[in-house]
Structure 1
Amino acid sequence: MSDPAAAAVSIVEVAPRDGLQNESGFVETGNKLQLIDHLIGMGARRIEVASFVNPRRVPQMADAEAVIAGLPAAFGVRFIGLCLNERGVDRAIATLAAARPLDEAGCVLVATDSFGIINQGQRIEDGIAANSAMLKKAAAAGLYAQVTISAAFGCPYEGAVPEDRVVELAARMAAAGAREIALADTIGVAVPAQVAALTARVIATIAPIPIRLHFHDTRGLAPANAWAGYQAGCRTFDSALGGLGGCPFAPGAAGNVGTEELLYMFEKSGVATGYDLHSALAANVWFAGVMGRPLPSRAGKAGDFAPRPLPGAPPAL
């Protein structure tokens, strides 16, 4: 049972976007919408549903507008669209005329020149200027405008990223009007001590603007990194049902930390999440059927912890 004295966390479910963007086989729009329904049933209250990108570069997101048009009218649930450029923000704003519009525009600033050029065609300084304009435009339209600093813990092309640089980028995005700033371990290279140090510094720099953490589980450290971030003061985390994910432009990146992993870790540690683990495990089984294979999440495979009867023991009366 959760300890009421422990600070609760909020988990942003990213399976419909970050979880699926690297899949080679196209997941039909109807299945994406069913996935979103399952996520809401699990307890998700912030869901990243689509990315406004060129479908030639990320074919899985070619139906972004169709997914948004089919979103359910779910009270208390906020839907997020990822925007990599100003055209993406314009597409997010266009949904505001729909019956069920987006609530948030998630922008992205890459922490290195090399990965920024590969991912978005821009160096860091270009990204700062572009994101500042994007945040302003999204906010003026009424969207909750937030930004993720990608490759904050390491770059696939440049290696280690200086901590001071990430802190400075967070400060500049805060000054540009970001309502929330996420730090992303895009390729899964972070370790808990690194996460704790950088999280604490960014919180101290941008408070009261909230921080969010986004981990990929390439080296099996994502849950430990999330716990380190929690202890350093972060209270919002991204995850994907089943541990799906990866980045088409980040060689070697594995999937996101599994939602089941975070639910198991936090709930067993007395930290409330607002989700139901058993519903998440059932959703994992359903979506594994859609994908035609078991999903990567270890907790999704192992399930919840429950003692088993001793072999040969008589049945309980």
Structure 2
Amino acid sequence: MFILPNSATIIEVGPRDGLQNEAKVVSTEHKLQFIENLQQAGVQEMELTSFVSPKWVPQMADAKDILANVEKTGRQLVLTPNEKGINAALESGARAVAVFVGVSNTFNKKNINKTTDESMKALKPLILQLKQDGVFVRACISTAFHCPFEGAIEPEDTLSLCQQFVGWGVDELSVADTIGMATPTESYELFSQLKEAFPDVLMTAHFHDTRKMALANIFAALQASVDRFDSSAGGLGGCPFAPGATGNVATEDVVNMLHQMGIETGIDLDRLCEAVQKIEPYVSNPVDTGMYRLYKNRA
């Protein structure tokens, strides 16, 4: 007998993770419209933007404008890779920030030019101060299952990294299958261990769909009592530092699967697909997810 929750929370990462590495420049106006359309579809938690150097991520150069003009509803997360990014986000009015570290040293070095230990040492005082100031902190754990450079990651290494973050008081752990190589058994086993170790921390699963196993991995995570999932409308996104990684699992496909199993999300699937349809002309590649194809054919 399957163990399923009555409801699940979707954390929409399309406006940030989905668009961050998009080759075509998406205007601030179209990003804001995308965010508004997702909100109107019922999305309550969302990664809006990233306070990173425009030199390295030009797509996120309008982070301050996004935060200043977005409708304030639900939990609005911004990615902040370092102290400079955190300060800029707070000055712009952010009250929920996300930090990130790779379990894999090699991946972390290629991503932000620091080892995992160096990143953690730099983040510790920042997180402690953020929590003292009452800011919501989400810790994103990259390469939690596999690394494109180091191969399979030992679960103990992922748990150890998460333990450090939990010790500093983070509110949420977003544990990522960054290159989409995890299997459902690995998903179930790791998330079962994480839920047992950290029962009082929000636990979110983040899957990429490289081998078309993201939905299976989400189902396995549900069996491990996870009820929070990152996803990207239209399946947009991908990591430039992870060779072979494709986009995030599509929000519309996740919502459809959950609804078909009787798990409520509070998201209107048709309005979600409409939001994808409206952003599609401004991204480089056509959107070709299962539920979006059905929506277009029906329309």
8 Å CA contact 2:5, 2:227 repeated in 1? no
8 Å CA contact 1:108, 1:131 repeated in 2? no
8 Å CA contact 2:42, 2:268 repeated in 1? yes
Rounded Cα–Cα distance in structure 2 between residues aligned with 1:282 and 1:30: 17
8 Å CA contact 2:145, 2:152 repeated in 1? yes
1:255-293 deviations in Å (ceiling 9; x for gaps) = 110000111100000101110111112112222133365
Superposition map of 1:170-249 within 5 A: 170-249=162-241
Rounded Cα–Cα distance in structure 2 between residues aligned with 1:234 and 1:305: 33
Find the counterpart in structure 2 of residue 160 from structure 1: 152
Find the counterpart in structure 1 of residue 276 from structure 2: 284
Rounded Cα–Cα distance in structure 2 between residues aligned with 1:121 and 1:78: 30
Q: What code does the residue aligned with 1:281 have?
A: C
What's the TM-score, normalizing by structure 2? 0.94
Find the counterpart in structure 2 of residue 21 from structure 1: 20
SS in structure 1 opposite 2:149? coil
**Is 1:84 the equivalent of 2:81?**
yes
8 Å CA contact 1:93, 1:138 repeated in 2? no
Rounded Cα–Cα distance in structure 2 between residues aligned with 1:7 and 1:131: 36
Q: What code does the residue aligned with 1:244 have?
A: L
Rg larger for: 1
Q: CA deviation at 1:78?
A: 1.4
Q: What code does the residue aligned with 2:204 have?
A: R
1:62-99 deviations in Å (ceiling 9; x for gaps) = 1111111111133xx11101011121111121122xxx
Find the counterpart in structure 1 of residue 109 from structure 2: 117
Identity among equivalent pairs (%): 35
Rounded Cα–Cα distance in structure 2 between residues aligned with 1:121 and 1:6: 40
| Change in 2 beyond 3 A, CA 1:22/1:296 | farther
Taking only aligned residues, the RMSD between alpha carbons, in angstroms, comes to: 1.7
1:41-63 deviations in Å (ceiling 9; x for gaps) = 11110110111111111111111
Find the counterpart in structure 2 of residue 312 from structure 1: none
SS in structure 2 opposite 1:238? strand
Find the counterpart in structure 2 of residue 128 from structure 1: 120
**Is 1:59 the equivalent of 2:58?**
yes
Task: State which of 87, 90, 94 in structure 1 corresponds to 2:91.
Answer: 94
SS in structure 1 opposite 2:211? coil
1:205-251 deviations in Å (ceiling 9; x for gaps) = 11211211111111111111111111111111101110000112111
Q: What code does the residue aligned with 2:252 have?
A: E
Aligned residues: 295
Rounded Cα–Cα distance in structure 2 between residues aligned with 1:140 and 1:283: 37
Q: Which runs of 5+ in 2 are unaligned?
A: none
| Change in 2 beyond 3 A, CA 1:304/1:103 | farther
Rounded Cα–Cα distance in structure 2 between residues aligned with 1:304 and 1:226: 25
Rounded Cα–Cα distance in structure 2 between residues aligned with 1:23 and 1:272: 31
| Change in 2 beyond 3 A, CA 1:154/1:121 | same
SS in structure 1 opposite 2:151? coil
Q: CA deviation at 1:40?
A: 0.2
8 Å CA contact 2:24, 2:284 repeated in 1? no
| Higher relative contact order structure (alpha carbons within 8 Å, sequence separation ≥ 6) | 2
- Once the two structures are overlaid, the 10-residue window that deviates more, 27-36 or 137-146, is 137-146
8 Å CA contact 2:140, 2:175 repeated in 1? yes
**Is 1:140 the equivalent of 2:132?**
yes
Q: Which runs of 5+ in 1 are unaligned?
A: 97-101, 307-317
SS in structure 2 opposite 1:187? coil
Q: CA deviation at 1:156?
A: 1.2
Rounded Cα–Cα distance in structure 1 between residues aligned with 2:107 and 2:295: 37
Q: CA deviation at 1:253?
A: 1.0
Find the counterpart in structure 1 of residue 43 from structure 2: 44
